Amino acid sequence: MSQLIAFWSILMKDMKNYYLKPPNISWGIIFPLSWTLMLFVRSGSPVDIREILPGVMALSILFGTTSMLAVTITFERKSRSFERLLLAPISLNLLMLAKTTGAILFGVLNAFVPVLFASFLIDLSGIHWVTAFSGVLLIAVTSTFLGLFIAVSVSEVFEAQTFSNFFRFPMMFLCGLFIPVSSLPALLQPLSYLLPLTYGADILKQSINENGFLPAPLSFSVLLAFSLALFTISLRNIKKRWIY
Partner 1 sequence: MGETIIEAMGLCKWFGDFTAVRDASFTVEAGEIFGFLGPNGAGKTTTINMLTGLAKPTAGAILIAGEDGIRHIKKVQQRIGIVPDESNLYEDMSGFDNLVFCASLYGMEKAQREARARQLLAQFGLAETGKRPFKAFSKGMKRKLTIAAGIIHAPRILFLDEPTTGIDVESARQIRKLIQDLNGQGTTIFLTTHYIEEAERLCHRVGFIVDGSVIRVDAIGSLMQDEDQAYRLDFTLESHQPALLEAMSQAFPNIQVSVLDPQRIRLLSPTRVELAPFIQFFEDAQIPVYEVKLVHPSLEDVFVRITGIEIARLKKEKEGQRK
Contacts with partner 1, residue ranges (CB under 8 A): 1-3, 5-6, 8-10, 13, 17, 79-81, 83-91, 243-244
Which residue lies nearer to partner 1 by CB, 40 or 75?
A: 75
Which residue lies nearer to partner 1 by CB, 138 or 152?
A: 152
Task: Give burial (CB, 10 Å; 0-12/13-18/19+) of 200.
Answer: buried
Which residue lies nearer to partner 1 by CB, 24 or 209?
A: 24
Q: Could you tell me the smallest distance in angstroms from the CB atom of residue 87 to partner 1?
A: 5
Which residue lies nearer to partner 1 by CB, 120 or 244?
A: 244
Q: Could you tell me the smallest distance in angstroms from the CB atom of residue 84 to partner 1?
A: 7
Q: Could you tell me the smallest distance in angstroms from the CB atom of residue 95 to partner 1?
A: 9
Q: What is the DSSP string of the chain?
A: -HHHHHHHHHHHHHIIIIITSHHHHHHHHHHHHHHHHHHHHHHSS---HHHHHHHHHHHHHHHHHHHHHIIIIIIHHHTTTHHHHHTSSS-HHHHHHHHHHHHHHHHHHHHHHHHHHHHHHS--TT--HHHHHHHHHHHHHHHHHHHHHHHHH-SSHHHHHHHHHHHHHHHHHHSSSSS-GGGS-TTTHHHHHHSHHHHHHHHHHHHHHS---S-HHHHHHHHHHHHHHHHHHHHHHHHHHT--
Burial 181-196 (b: 16+ CB within 10 A, else e): beebeeeeeeebeebb
Q: Could you tell me the smallest distance in angstroms from the CB atom of residue 102 to partner 1?
A: 14
Q: Could you tell me the smallest distance in angstroms from the CB atom of residue 164 to partner 1?
A: 23
Which residue lies nearer to partner 1 by CB, 71 or 195?
A: 71
Which residue lies nearer to partner 1 by CB, 50 or 78?
A: 78
Which residue lies nearer to partner 1 by CB, 91 or 211?
A: 91
Asked if 197 and 139 count as a contact pair (C-beta separation under 8 A), the reply is yes
Q: Could you tell me the smallest distance in angstroms from the CB atom of residue 82 to partner 1?
A: 9
Q: Could you tell me the smallest distance in angstroms from the CB atom of residue 175 to partner 1?
A: 36
